[in-house]
Amino acid sequence: MDIKKLRDKIDDIDREIISLFEERMKISKGISDYKKQNNLPLFDKSREEQVLQSRMSLLKDKSLAPYAKRFVVEMMDLSKAYQYRANTDENIVLIGMMGSGKTEKGKIVAEKLCLDFVDIDEEIQKREGMSINDIFAKHGEEYFRSVESAVIEKYAEETGYVISTGGGVVLSQKNMQNLKEKGKVFFLNRNIDDIVSTIDTKNRPLLAGGTQKLYEIYKERLPLYLKWCDFEMTTQGSIEQCAAEIISKLY
């Protein structure tokens, strides 16, 4: 069989897969509605394990097992993401010290849950047309905080976002009240010694005096992080493991 005919066969199979995918997701939405009406958790670990084992048992060519497992797990993850979005209109808000990995972990969480991602510091820089260092140097911290509050207010009014905030967001009660109104707040409490040993101070205006300043900032802000968060995350694993733990708290 020539390559064109092989590709035509794949096209036919893909059409069937997409049609079945749509049907599966509609049924998944129905399950989501049922769970919501009956106050049931979105995630049932034992059910998920049963589904995985059941689907894997259908596989005839066992050499495809690693690929089939990945396919089934991804399919279940997409169903959970769809059910989560159907069940909630809240944002996911990440707070914590500079260097705690809010942006990297937030992007993974957003991708896994099919949500939009926004980094507040990046949005501030776009709005002002300059780096945060330059904003501090030209206008001072008070001006920066006012712009930060305006950007936060904008995104806090919307839904369907994973929001990565700057380390000082908790200094403003108004900021946190806005973020919590439509959001679940996660405090990424990375070990401060690990942050100090890895952080690059060049683009951190508050660390102009060196990394020792980080310990003072952490001591000052820790009570605020704990006050405002819904969940404190202390996972010391990989970025992917930390993101997975954040998602697990939502189900």
Q: What is the pLDDT of residue 161?
A: 96
Q: What are 181-200's pLDDT values in tens digits? A: 999 999 999 988 888 777 76
Q: Which pLDDT belongs to residue 42?
A: 78
Q: Given this model, what pLDDT does residue 41 score?
A: 83
pLDDT for position 77: 92
Span 158-167, pLDDT tens digits: 999 999 999 9
Ranking 115-119, 160-164, 213-217 by mean pLDDT, the lowest is 213-217
Give percent of the chain above pLDDT 90: 71
Hey, which CATH number is domain 91-250, 3.90.700.10, 3.40.50.720, 3.40.50.300, 3.10.310.30?
A: 3.40.50.300
pLDDT range class, residue 210, cuts 50, 70, 90: low
How confident is the model over 11-29, as a mean pLDDT? 96
- Secondary structure of the chain in HEC code, one letter for each residue: CCHHHHHHHHHHHHHHHHHHHHHHHHHHHHHHHHHHHCCCCCCCHHHHHHHHHHHHHCCCCHHHHHHHHHHHHHHHHHHHHHHHHHHCCCEEEEECCCCCCHHHHHHHHHHHHCCEEEEHHHHHHHHHCCCHHHHHHHHCHHHHHHHHHHHHHHHHCCCCEEEECCCCHHHCHHHHHHHHHCEEEEEECCCHHHHHHHCCCCCCHHHCCCCHHHHHHHHHHHHHHHHHCCEEECCCCCHHHHHHHHHHHHC
The pLDDT score that the predictor gives to residue 251 is: 77
pLDDT value at 91 more than 90: yes
For residues 149-158, average pLDDT: 95
Lowest mean pLDDT among 18-22, 40-44, 107-111: 40-44
Q: What is the pLDDT of residue 201?
A: 61
pLDDT at 209: 62
Domain with residues 3-87, CATH architecture: Up-down Bundle (1.20)
Map out the domains of the chain as residue ranges: 3-87, 91-250
The mean pLDDT value for 143-171 works out to: 95
Given this model, what pLDDT does residue 208 score?
Answer: 60
Q: Please give the model's pTM, rounded to 2 decimal places.
A: 0.86
Whether residue 2 is predicted with pLDDT greater than 70 in this model: the reply is yes
